[in-house]
Amino acid sequence: MSQPSLTRFAWISIAAALVTIILKTCAWHVTGSVGLLSDALESVVNLIGGVMALAMLTIAQRPADEDHAFGHGKAEYFSSGVEGSLILVAAASIGYTSFNRLMHPQPLEQPGLGLAVALVASLVNLGVAILLLRVGRARHSITLEANAQHLLTDVWTSVGVLVGVGLVVLTGWNRIDPIVGLLVAANIVWTGAGIVRRSVAGLMDTALPAKDLVEVKKLLEGYRTDGLEFHALWTRQSGARKFISFHVLVPGEWTVQRGHELLERIERDISQAIPDASVFTHLESLEDPASWDDDRLDRSISDPKKLEA
């Protein structure tokens, strides 16, 4: 049975954002709490992020073509990058509103009803966040993971706001509400910055995570016992796709067929160990000194001595 399209989960995120926007806006309207207003604003960012995720996931799932031989997976990084940036914008807005309310505190109205509505919205976000995080990690989708992390942050934000409103009710000190709003803004900045950093790392072709590299090296070490050598291991990730390239050094007297069968076996082993990986290998002779000269990262830099020869 084929796996469901990732865009289905983006639609779920959009639906959850719409529901929580309505609920949180009602909670803010009932209470007048700036904390609940900040919570509603963050849900607007969730909605924009969900729409962006839907668009980029649709592009990312397109098959490779002549103009995009390595696929369209990097589109996911644009989605998470935009969502991270929007989170920072929302944080600035929340911070400004909270600071203004801190200077001019106002009493809350009907806090009990507002808390109940906000709690329902938080439970909706929590359920969707857990679903997106599970699917995102299983399917190696940075877009769904970023969306899930944002929703989880929204949940913790809501918890903080609910606590703040509750303390206002218990103590009567209205400034607690905007103080919580400022703390919410700081937490959102931290999350947004982390999402942006991860998106930039993906666009810059950062190497695969350490656990994947360890798995690759472990497999290659097993083949070294047969007298083979490996070098020039390069990796990168493009959305859900992973790319692994390295050189395989074998005895010079091997036939082309024997070398080909070895490479096929190695590539198959790595693909089974690391799902969604595209493996590229290059066969070289152990006895040829030139095989040991091209293990630098940038092979496009020609050796002046070879050019003179």
Which domains, from first to last, does the chain contain?
Answer: 6-203 (1.20.1510.10), 210-308 (3.30.70.1350)
The Cα–Cα gap between 271 and 244 comes to 10
What is the predicted pLDDT for the residue at 304?
45
Higher-confidence position of 90 and 227? 227
Query: Is the distance from CB of 191 to CB of 153 less than 8 angstroms?
Result: yes
Higher-confidence position of 275 and 231? 231
- Confidence label for 7 from pLDDT (cuts 50, 70 and 90): confident
Q: 51: burial class by Cβ within 10 Å (0-12, 13-18, 19+)?
A: middle
- Confidence label for 22 from pLDDT (cuts 50, 70 and 90): confident
- Confidence label for 307 from pLDDT (cuts 50, 70 and 90): very low
The Cα–Cα gap between 20 and 17 comes to 5
The DSSP secondary structure of 147-207, one letter per residue, reads HHHHHHHHHHHHHHHHHHHHHHHHH--TTHHHHHHHHHHHHHHHHHHHHHHHHHHHHTTPP
Lookup result for tokens 């929007």: 86
Percent of the chain's residues with pLDDT above 70: 83
**Mean pLDDT, to the nearest integer, of 257-281?**
91
- For the ranges 54-68, 219-233, 285-299, which has the lowest average pLDDT? 285-299
Q: Is the pLDDT of residue 105 over 70?
A: no
Q: Is the pLDDT of residue 154 over 90?
A: no
The Cα–Cα gap between 66 and 21 comes to 42
With residue 135 as reference, give the H or E element that holds it.
helix 111-139
Q: Is the pLDDT of residue 298 over 60?
A: no
Query: Is the distance from CB of 244 to CB of 232 less than 8 angstroms?
Result: no
DSSP state of 68: B
- Confidence label for 255 from pLDDT (cuts 50, 70 and 90): very high
CA 118 to chain centre: 27
**Mean pLDDT, to the nearest integer, of 85-97?**
73
The Cα–Cα gap between 210 and 98 comes to 41
What is the predicted pLDDT for the residue at 306?
47
The token duo for 97 is 């509103």
What is the predicted pLDDT for the residue at 254?
92
The token duo for 42 is 């963050």
**Mean pLDDT, to the nearest integer, of 164-182?**
75
- For the ranges 11-15, 97-101, 141-145, 304-308, which has the lowest average pLDDT? 304-308
Higher-confidence position of 207 and 36? 207
